[in-house]
Amino acid sequence: VNKMISCLNKSTITREFLARAIKRESGINITKSSEMVDQLINFLISRICEDYEIKIRLFGSFISKSKKERLGRNPKTMEEATIPARKVVKFKVAPKLKKRINDNIHLIS
């Protein structure tokens, strides 16, 4: 797993990337690892849509928040417009991960 983490510095993590990493680390075939990734993502999406807070220890939390309707402004025309109420998903980084990220930044600088 550590080899996988070190190569992530400037990569985009896709479903395929995750499936291949699971295949490499566990030895299961790519079809099964792709299914596992899809099942996990679908599970997370369904729980977020049901307003569950998802906490993944040492990683972070996904939280669904409601935003109220508000008045906004088009920056080009300065015309006011109503921005409707909506839900957004917030991600809060776990403190240990935040520290690890910041420690790595100091090592690179």
**pLDDT tens column, 64-95:** 999 999 999 999 999 999 999 999 999 999 99
Last residue of a domain, one of 50, 67, 91: 50
Question: Which residue range forms the structural domain that includes residue 36?
Answer: 1-50
If asked whether residues 64 and 78 sit together in one domain, one would say yes
pLDDT band at 105 (very low <50, low <70, confident <90, very high): confident
| Residue 6 reports pLDDT greater than 90 | no
Based on C-alpha coordinates, what's the Rg of the chain?
A: 19
Domain count, the chain: 2
Q: What percent of the chain has pLDDT over 70?
A: 87
CATH number for the domain spanning 100: value is 4.10.520.10
Average pLDDT over residues 40-57: 96
Q: How many beta carbons lie within 10 A of that of residue 21, not counting itself? A: 19
If asked whether residues 33 and 62 sit together in one domain, one would say no
pLDDT band at 108 (very low <50, low <70, confident <90, very high): low
Phi then psi for 60, rounded to 5 degrees?
A: 160, -170
If asked whether residues 35 and 64 sit together in one domain, one would say no
Last residue of a domain, one of 30, 50, 70: 50
- For the chain, give the mean pLDDT: 90
